[in-house]
Amino acid sequence: MTRSKPSSRSPASIGLSLALAALFTAGCSYSVPPTFQHEDIAESVVNICQKEHGISVKTRLVGQTLWIYLPLEEILETPKKPEKYSERFEILKNEVALEDQILKLDYSVKAIIPELEKVEEVVYKKSALEAKHKVTRALLRVLLSSKHRKETSPLFFCIITADIKYGFIIKDLFYYHDFQKFNYNLMSVGEFQHRDVQDSKISPEIIGDKEGESIEYKDVTMGEFVRDQIAHRIKVKFQKPEVGKKADIDKEVIKIVENAMRAYDFRDFYLVELNNGLTQNKIILNQAAIFNRPIEKKF
């Protein structure tokens, strides 16, 4: 069993799980009366997963962040008919930090000439994807049957799909209102996949960990979420890829910052510093530059 991480092009992402869950609840979600108290959300997700789907999950609510730990065995497999894709860029560096109200981006994105044709090495196993879908559906059901309270209800959700046999995790972090808009068809699958901060890594410490005791649980702040989403968007834009090989890398990164900041009206910063390690180009933008520049129209 390979430990390579799944491609960002794989359709077996939480976006697909959410799309299926949205279809399941479409047309009836508005008529479901509140049946869960916000303080019971974590326990309710566990109960539904266990009683209705036979899936054991562990949940922990830390502040306004709900963590869901899904322990499975062998969550990835080699596809029988791997999809081909073009590798147009190589991301040599992609680091984003938010300190003292300064957002710092250090990146190096190199165009690959000529482009390389590759195939997906691994994808979610069908059983793992189905389990993840059922967990997502349980979460949707609980949220749709709960009264959201701005000051106390969860604002962020983190689903950790853990391969406890090989020591590998896939983490999905997303925001309540994005989740809500997606469910009501106010946000596309593609846009949600840009906002769902997905990360995967080898984690030997979770081998055999059915309880999620090796996971570091914390309350995610909006600043941390926006910071991580920017790094995620950079990865998706150039790995997918979403731009041509002659694209202006700095301009594309600026667009990413603008989109993320504007999406959440995040203003707890006063400067953005961009450092292109490949060209040594440095750009400094203030808050006004991020929010006042006209949005480019797409035709």
Residues of the chain with pLDDT under 70: 1-39, 295-299
Token pair belonging to 29: 């979600």
DSSP string, the chain: ---PPPPTT-S-SHHHHHHHHHHHHTTTGGGPPP-B-GGGHHHHHHHHHHHHH----EEEEETTEEEEEEEES--EE--SSPPEEEEEEEEEEEEEEEETTEEEEEEEEEEEEEEEEEE---EE-HHHHHHHHHHHHHHHHHHHTB---TTTS--EEEEEEEETTTTEEEEEEEEHHHHHHHHTTSS-HHHHHHHSEEEEEE-GGGTT-SS-TTS---PPPHHHHHHHHHHHHHHHHHHTT-S-TT--HHHHHHHHHHHHHHHTT----SEEEEEETTTTEEEEEEHHHHHHSPPPP--
Cα separations (Å) of 283 from 50, 106, 274, 275? 51, 11, 5, 7
- 217-226: b or e for each residue (b if 16 or more CB lie within 10 Å)? eeebbebbbb
pLDDT of residue 200: 94
Separation CA 288–CA 248 (nearest Å): 22
Separation CA 123–CA 132 (nearest Å): 14
Q: Which residues pair with 217 in a beta bridge?
A: none
Q: Name the residue type at position 240.
A: K
pLDDT of residue 81: 87
The count of other CB atoms within 10 Å of the CB of residue 194 is 21
Strands 58-62 and 65-72: antiparallel
pLDDT of residue 106: 98
The answer to whether the beta carbons of residues 153 and 66 sit under 8 Å apart is no
Query: Which phi and psi (to 5°) does residue 258 adopt?
Result: -60, -45
Q: Which residue has the tokens 């799980």?
A: 17
Q: What is the pTM of this model?
A: 0.86
Segment 38-96, tens digit of pLDDT = 668 999 999 999 999 999 999 999 999 999 999 999 999 999 888 888 899 999 999 99
